[in-house]
Structures are given as structure tokens and as C-alpha cells.
Amino acid sequence: MTNLFDTGVAVSLPQVLDVKEYLAHRQQEILTNHPNESLLSFRLNIPGPIKTNDALVQVFDHFQNQFIQVLTAQQHPFVIEERQTNPAGDWLLLRVQTPPLTLKTIGTQLEEASDLSRLCDFDVLYLKDQQLTSVHRTEIGHAKRQCLICHETAKVCSRSRRHSVLEMQTKINQLVQQFLLTQK
Ligand SMILES: [Zn+2]
């Protein structure tokens, strides 16, 4: 493969927003049925119109497996509620019987384990006074997510559009190509 972003279906902003809305609905629904559990909502952060393809599904599955391995090793009971491949980006909804801060710690440690794993977004949700609430990295003593390209926080760079989509794709392509070599 020469460039990761040569394959895949380009999606529009409304498609991306539809998925976000759907996920918020499902997250609320799952936690309403299991109010004392935590929910992992896993996606990859892929900027630009191509959000998934065979190689990115491979990356996704790799990190999904890693997360599940940690849960199994630490004996946190879990249920896979939903695993979808979608042009707007894949997702996993995993319900876990463990406190949200514990789950967020596992996710953040995995996110920070390598450059490639920084593509992962392990969002942890729970119900606080019946409201869908997300755990922030700062609540578990971690710094905010760092940009893939520079040393600024990711939010600052994405808000100011400091890096072009092409620049981000070039970096991601590099990381994924390296990963694919290790998978053969
Ligand atoms: Zn940056």
C-alpha cells in the first residue's frame, strides 16, 4: 500500500454528525439500562474525509483487542454492546462493571503507549444524576491529549487548524505503514 488514504469512502460532515448523534443516543440508552456500570466508547481520531478502510479496521481491532486483554487480565467483567464498521469511522461500545475512573486510567495508559496508539480515543462515560458524563483525562491526573504533530494540546491545534488535513494524513499514513509491517 502506498498511501493509507487512497482507499476508503469520503464522508461528509453531516454523516459524521449523524454518527455522533446516534452514539450519544446509544450511550444514554445503554447506561440507563445499566446505571451502575461504565461505558467505553472507542473510536479512532482520523481527520479528513476518509475515516476508515481495511488498514484502519486492522488498527482498530488491534487496539480493541489490547483493551480487552487488559480488562481480562485485571478481571473487570465486560459486555460488547456494539462494534460497527461505518464510513464515518468505526466504533465500539463496551459496557464494563468497573468505576469510570479505573476504566479511563486503562484507556489513557493505552492511548499514551505509542505514537500509533495516540490515534485512539477511549472515551469513558457514566451516568451522573442521570446525565451522560464523560471522564476527562485531567480527573485521573493526566495531561490533556497531545497533538500528533507538535507538542501543543490536540484541542488547541484542531481549533486553530494549525495543521492541514494533508499534514495529519501524512503523519498517520507513516504510523500505520509501520504498524502494518509488524503485522505480517
Ligand atoms: Zn499541533
- What span, in angstroms and rounded, lies between the C-alpha atoms of 93 and 110? 17
For the domain made up of 4-143, give the CATH fold: Alpha-Beta Plaits (3.30.70)
Q: What's the 150 CA to ligand 1 centre distance in angstroms? A: 4
CA R_g for the chain: 16
For the chain, the distance separating the N- and C-terminal CA atoms, rounded to the nearest angstrom, is 13
Query: Where do the domains of the chain lie?
Result: 4-143
Q: Are 94 and 67 in contact (CB under 8 A)?
A: yes
Question: Could you list which residues have their CB under 5 Å from ion ligand 1?
Answer: 147, 149-150, 152, 157
Q: What's the 149 CA to ligand 1 centre distance in angstroms? A: 5
| Rounded (10°) angle between helices 54-73 and 165-182 | 60
Q: What's the 143 CA to ligand 1 centre distance in angstroms? A: 15
Q: Are 42 and 67 in contact (CB under 8 A)?
A: yes
- Write b or e for each residue in 55-91: b if 16 or more Cβ atoms lie within 10 A of its Cβ, otherwise e: bbeebbeebbeebbeebeeeebebeebeeeebbbbbb
Q: What's the 153 CA to ligand 1 centre distance in angstroms? A: 7
Per-residue pLDDT of the chain (184 residues; tens, 9 = 90+): 579 999 999 999 999 999 999 999 999 999 999 999 999 999 999 999 999 999 999 999 999 999 999 999 999 999 999 999 999 999 999 999 999 999 999 999 999 999 999 999 999 999 999 899 999 999 999 999 899 999 899 999 989 999 999 999 999 999 999 999 998 7
Q: What's the 148 CA to ligand 1 centre distance in angstroms? A: 6
Q: What's residue 1's pLDDT?
A: 58
Kindly report the number of other CB atoms within 10 A of residue 32's CB atom.
11
- What span, in angstroms and rounded, lies between the C-alpha atoms of 40 and 1? 32
